[in-house]
Amino acid sequence: MEPLVSFLEIKANPPHLGDNTADLDRLRRAVAEQLGGREPRVAWSRTAPVAAAFRAAGFGGTAVLNHLAAGVELVDFLPGLATSPLAMALDLGTTHLEATLLDLATGAQLARAHQENSQIRFGADILSRIHHAASPGGLAALHAAVLGDINALARRLAGAVGIEAAAIRALSVAGNTAMSHFFLNLNPHHLIREPYIPMVNVIEPPAAGELGLAIHPAAPVWVLPSVGSYFGGDLVAGVLACGMAQGEEVTMLIDVGTNAEVIVGNRDWLMACAGAAGPALEGGVARMGMRAGPGAIDHVEYDSATATLRYTTIGGEPPRGLCGSGVIDLAAALYLGRLIDLKGKFRPAVAGNRLVDSPDGPALVVAPAGAAADGRPVLFAQTDLDAVMRSKAAMYAILTTLINQVGGQFTELAHIYVAGAFGRHINPRSAITLGMLPDLPLATYVPVGNSSLAGAELVLRDGDARRAGQALVRKITYLELNVNQEFMLRFSGSRFIPHTDHGLFPSVPFFGDL
Amino acid sequence: MEPLVSFLEIKANPPHLGDNTADLDRLRRAVAEQLGGREPRVAWSRTAPVAAAFRAAGFGGTAVLNHLAAGVELVDFLPGLATSPLAMALDLGTTHLEATLLDLATGAQLARAHQENSQIRFGADILSRIHHAASPGGLAALHAAVLGDINALARRLAGAVGIEAAAIRALSVAGNTAMSHFFLNLNPHHLIREPYIPMVNVIEPPAAGELGLAIHPAAPVWVLPSVGSYFGGDLVAGVLACGMAQGEEVTMLIDVGTNAEVIVGNRDWLMACAGAAGPALEGGVARMGMRAGPGAIDHVEYDSATATLRYTTIGGEPPRGLCGSGVIDLAAALYLGRLIDLKGKFRPAVAGNRLVDSPDGPALVVAPAGAAADGRPVLFAQTDLDAVMRSKAAMYAILTTLINQVGGQFTELAHIYVAGAFGRHINPRSAITLGMLPDLPLATYVPVGNSSLAGAELVLRDGDARRAGQALVRKITYLELNVNQEFMLRFSGSRFIPHTDHGLFPSVPFFGDL
């Protein structure tokens, strides 16, 4: 598998007058004997520490090796037989960081931690942070903030297994292109200015010490490469985690965050695009929207017999709001219960007294005040519905534009991987009912969880994955939707439930009489 | 030739919406197109400066490439068509530093400078400096001293051609093993303790900025590798400069400094050894000894017709003392004039009133007070002669032990290269007369000047030389003379003029009647 860092047991003969080669050269040769003759490189900055540690250990112990594209680097020497190298995988999100600690000898996950992105104080969204980076000291402050967050996570992960953060021997980072720039202290100025150019896509791994990280100074920092300004290492990680670029069968990956990012292809070709379909689907638009957490309404059904909405909440707690999957379920249930029409507008004739006036105009009472967690009813307003309609239309338009661009059909897709919290909680049946996702057998849809983090873990464990990740940069074609006429046309056609062309959704009841 | 640093003209297309690859990736690809597809590496620390310079230059200009063993590194980008890369070659001597500035595009030498080694304030010889390195802050002080000297030389070389030191793009360093350790801030402790082990022989080139040098921070610093504690990069450089390891013919290199270091071999094998034969031969032992400089007596003949010594001085100035070649000439002349016997003792019967009493015992007046530069006679004492006898015996014993060890004969040597000031000034005829060098046709002896500096220049110019230098580390067998019985026997046999076995020196008159 060739993990990014490995430990190698070394027993060398001590020097004597008949064998007086230098300490470090002796160690390099001992390593080479076990690596098929390849001598590892040793950077000048590691020369004295490694050679001194080798001698202090009596010319036997554990060599620490970094496996990089340019070859194997010898970076440390430990006395005795050291335990497995530990490494940290990081999903470096715009709002949220999630990390795991891995044992690279076994691949096992030892600990998990997460943390808000403290760059938020410079701006909630990437755009405002990029503007902040241009102010005096701005980039340095953004860089320092993300380093501080990562160091805090490293200390927490290390503490969970009773080690120091400096005992972490490697780090992999999957972030969008802007976050990768902030992390690496690179000017993001041109990311948001036409023609939207990153400073760099493929990064030579720095040592953690160069960046000022709290993990071992010689730990390699493997940053998943970007494909472009709008296709970052987080998505490259996702492609790796799903194995999309390995097989012959064509699959699709949908990752919904602030944007909806979609990739389709196989080992021979991959095409990607992104569009603003996301907020409503992550609970970011609905007034009562919330992240998937305790008290979030995550599933909704319409019981036509009793003409009532039935819902469940995460943790079974009294409802506080609606998470993304709840919003999709609710909208689908409202359509099936005919409480909304095919344009996504409330039908007062059916909704009746469930509709109330709210600061956002007409709103449906999903849970009355008496049932809700904080004594306030959970409402879902017409404006929320309008946002869901825009998001679902955008999503379907993105998917159809992309599949059409590659000359394919949805039915040819072996799988559609759905990443993130969205993928974990969503009911594909509801999304199909709304016309957000194509009308395919439900088994086609595979939730893959945090595929960015999974990809970051993969590159720590597997050299083939690291090489495949670098190769993806040239393999992935990015389809720019901002200037795409077809997308705009398809977006308009998708603003009905399930679609203007209802023949595309045979499994969804069509209420032509609405 | 593949110089260590090269400039490459780049004209890339500016990015646009249809070609939005990252700035640095664009530059790497443009370089790769001219390097047969090989993309250069860019260290993280150079990522932002190179990418920003490429964009600022309008995506065209000159790429600066370091050609290292691990591959090509892209380290800088200059606007427009830059002139040739300039590089500094350094002979890092224990007492003396000598450096040249090269144009790597043409190979031409542009400037030359030298400077005393300011480490001398911590100890005149390597041994005392190694002891000083063990004191608190000792190594750091020795390291700082040598960096200061190199920076002073770099500024002087740069000044000579009207540039800043920071415009020097590479440095090569040929020093003995201890000096290389001081330069690289490596602990030399075990160099002088049995079994005499360097911390490292083969060094991964650091960037000048890592070391704190005043030349360009991304300049590669190529340190000629050592073979062992007593065979350093200075000698590896000498072997490269003489081309000893390239051809089929067997040659020998003699480099006389504090030690006499000797290497014999060809492209298939090389054997080396060293011994304390040097001081007398560099003017370091004789009381009137001096470096080869103005006023040094450099050549002496005995005119048997007039029974007088005839000498010349460097620069034709009044004599101040004797340099190494003068000492050898003088001793040979004294022997031919029968003023000394075959044991190297003055013969008062012949020397007559040319012998005076001196603080060092009996001494010969080489130049009377009236002719000398400072009004004091140039004397050559019996103790000086004794030192010359020891040195010449050691030298011949080293040479014969070595040639015997490899199972060869002196007559099989195509050339004997003689390095340094010793080689430049010495009259091989005199050295043969004394029995210091073997009795071979004079054309066998080839003075090669500062071969360490020449080797340092070679590795700047030529990738094959860099690879050959690294390969020498494993190719050269080092013969330890300190524990060698044969050497001790041969040393005793060599303490006569020309030798106990005068049949070895058929061209030298043998005065059996002395």
pLDDT single digits (tens) A222-281: 999 999 998 999 999 999 999 999 999 999 999 987 778 999 999 999 999 988 765 545
Q: Which of B45, B176, B200, B477 to mutate: most A Cβ within 10 Å?
A: B200
Structure confidence at residue B513 as a pLDDT band (50, 70, 90)? low
Instruction: Kindly state the tokens that stand for B375.
Output: 């009004």
> Cβ separation of A200 and B52 shorter than 8 Å?
no
Report helix, strand or coil for B120: helix
> Cβ separation of B45 and A184 shorter than 8 Å?
no
Could you give the CA distance from residue B2 to residue B17 in angstroms, rounded to a whole number? 37
Kind and range of the H or E run holding B65: strand B60-68
Which is more confident, B324 or A15? A15
* Per-residue pLDDT at B100: 98
Arithmetic mean of pLDDT over chain A: 93
Could you give the CA distance from residue B435 to residue B430 in angstroms, rounded to a whole number? 9
Taking the alpha carbons of A388, A389, A393, A396 in that order, is the dihedral positive or negative?
positive
- Given a cut of 90, whether residue A75 has pLDDT beyond it is yes
What is the number of CB-based contacts under 8 A between chain A and chain B?
143
- Given a cut of 90, whether residue A138 has pLDDT beyond it is yes
Do residues B487 and B401 touch, judged by C-beta distance below 8 A? yes
Q: For residue A51, what is the nearest residue in chain B, using CA coordinates?
A: B199
> Cβ separation of B17 and A480 shorter than 8 Å?
yes
* Per-residue pLDDT at A115: 96
Residue indicated by tokens 């999100």: A93
- Given a cut of 80, whether residue A41 has pLDDT beyond it is yes
Q: B350 in contact with A at a CB cutoff of 8 Å? A: no
On chain B, the residues whose CB falls within 8 A of the CB of A229 are 20
Q: What is the mean pLDDT of residues A289-301?
A: 87
What pTM was computed for the model? 0.92
pLDDT in tens, B259-302: 789 999 999 999 999 887 655 455 445 567 787 789 999 899 98
Q: Which of residues 43-102 of A touch B (CB under 8 A)?
A: 43-45, 47-48, 51-52, 55, 70-71
Kind and range of the H or E run holding A147: helix A138-160
For residue A488, the tally of other CB atoms under 10 A from its CB is 12
Could you give the CA distance from residue B461 to residue B325 in angstroms, rounded to a whole number? 33
* Per-residue pLDDT at B280: 47
Q: Which of A42, A55, A199, A202 to mutate: most B Cβ within 10 Å?
A: A199
Of residues B427, B408, B405, B160, the one with CA closest to residue B312: B427
Chain B nearest C-alpha distance from A336 (Å): 43
Report helix, strand or coil for A397: helix
pLDDT in tens, A494-506: 999 999 998 999 9
pLDDT in tens, A300-346: 998 888 888 899 999 999 999 998 889 999 999 999 999 999 999 99
pLDDT in tens, B175-215: 999 999 999 999 999 999 989 999 999 999 999 999 999 99
The percent of residues in chain A predicted with pLDDT above 70, rounded, is 97
On chain A, the residues whose CB falls within 8 A of the CB of B44 are 184, 203-206, 210-211
On chain B, the residues whose CB falls within 8 A of the CB of A206 are 43-45
For residue B203, the tally of other CB atoms under 10 A from its CB is 25
> Cβ separation of B483 and A17 shorter than 8 Å?
yes
* Per-residue pLDDT at A458: 98
Q: Which of A44, A52, A199 sits opposite B206 (nearest CB)?
A: A44
Could you give the CA distance from residue B263 to residue B236 in angstroms, rounded to a whole number? 10
Could you give the CA distance from residue B147 to residue B94 in angstroms, rounded to a whole number? 14
On chain B, the residues whose CB falls within 8 A of the CB of A200 are 22-25, 42, 47, 51
Could you give the CA distance from residue A149 to residue A171 in angstroms, rounded to a whole number? 14
Q: CB neighbours of B129 closer than 8 A, spacing ≥ 6?
A: B119, B122, B123, B142, B178, B182
Could you give the CA distance from residue A215 to residue A209 in angstroms, rounded to a whole number? 8
Q: Which of B15, B199, B480 sits opposite A22 (nearest CB)?
A: B199
> Cβ separation of A186 and B16 shorter than 8 Å?
no
Torsion of CA B1, B2, B5, B8, to 10 degrees: 100
Q: How far is CA B398 from CA B255, B272, B477, in A?
A: 12, 10, 15
> Cβ separation of B25 and A202 shorter than 8 Å?
yes
ipTM: 0.91
- Given a cut of 60, whether residue A407 has pLDDT beyond it is yes
Q: Which of residues 483-512 of A touch B (CB under 8 A)?
A: 483
On chain B, the residues whose CB falls within 8 A of the CB of A199 are 22-24, 47-48, 51-52
Sequence-ordered alpha helix ranges (H) in B426-507: 428-434, 451-461, 463-475, 485-493
Chain A nearest C-alpha distance from B5 (Å): 19
- Given a cut of 60, whether residue B450 has pLDDT beyond it is yes
Q: Which of A44, A205, A228 sits opposite B204 (nearest CB)?
A: A44
Q: Which of B25, B66, B470, B472 to mutate: most A Cβ within 10 Å?
A: B25
On chain A, the residues whose CB falls within 8 A of the CB of B75 are none
* Per-residue pLDDT at A421: 76
Q: Which of A43, A51, A184 sits opposite B44 (nearest CB)?
A: A184
Arithmetic mean of pLDDT over chain B: 93
- Given a cut of 90, whether residue B425 has pLDDT beyond it is no
Q: Which of A51, A184, A200 sits opposite B200 (nearest CB)?
A: A51
Q: Which of residues 4-33 of B touch A (CB under 8 A)?
A: 15-17, 19-25, 28
Structure confidence at residue B116 as a pLDDT band (50, 70, 90)? very high
Q: Which of residues 415-474 of B touch A (CB under 8 A)?
A: 473
Q: What is the mean pLDDT of residues A466-471?
A: 96
Q: Which of residues 200-239 of A touch B (CB under 8 A)?
A: 200-206, 210-211, 226, 228-229
On chain B, the residues whose CB falls within 8 A of the CB of A25 are 200-202, 473
> Cβ separation of B21 and A201 shorter than 8 Å?
yes
pLDDT in tens, B1-53: 899 999 999 999 999 988 889 999 999 999 999 999 999 999 999 999 999 99
Chain A nearest C-alpha distance from B114 (Å): 27
Could you give the CA distance from residue A153 to residue A148 in angstroms, rounded to a whole number? 9
